[in-house]
Amino acid sequence: SAATDYQAEDALISQGAVATNHTGYSGSGFVDYTNVKGSYVEFTADAAAAGPASLTLRYANGTSTDRPMDLSVNGTVVASAVSFPATADWNTWASRTVNVTLKAGSNKIRATATTAAGGPNLDRVSLGTPSDTQAPTR
Ligand code: GCU
């Protein structure tokens, strides 16, 4: 089945701001993380049943330096310091996918910057079934 998209500009933002100053984003904008460790975006996603899901984050990183983030589900870090490497420029978006396990009902999915540079620009996350996505990166 198709993945479900959650726009970053509609999520809970801690130390970041919705921005539109680059091209190629989906929805009405993207999140520009404040350049501090600990800045995060948290998505609330409903799952019909407990089980595995793929989590794909669409991001841009116009610097030459990785912008790693911890990914947590319902308060537990499930992937530490996931790499969000440079993209060609801030208008060029790339995707990173990790496999996660969701509970039935409401899930809190958080992407938290682990370095003082903050996170990459984040456009959206997509939740899908593991079988209908690209290969997971870790
Ligand atoms: C630039 C860019 C922003 C980006 C920021 C950063 O200011 O225009 O979109 O978020 O760099 O380094 O995080």
pLDDT digits (tens, 9 = 90+) for 69-110: 999 999 999 999 999 999 999 999 999 999 999 999 999 999
Confidence band (pLDDT; 50, 70, 90) for 138? very low
Do the Cβ atoms of 102 and 45 come closer than 8 Å?
yes
Distance 26 CA to ligand 1 centre (A): 17
Report whether pLDDT(121) > 90: yes
Q: Is the CB of 32 under 6 A from ligand 1?
A: yes
How far is the centre of ligand 1, averaged over its atoms, from the C-alpha of 102 (Å)? 32
CB 57 within 8 A of CB 11: no
Q: What is the ipTM score, two decimals?
A: 0.98
* Ligand 1 binding pocket includes 87 (Cβ within 6 Å): no
Burial 5-25 (b: 16+ CB within 10 A, else e): ebbbbebebebbebeeebeeb
Reported residue count of the chain is 138
**Rounded distance, CA 107 to CA 126, Å?**
13
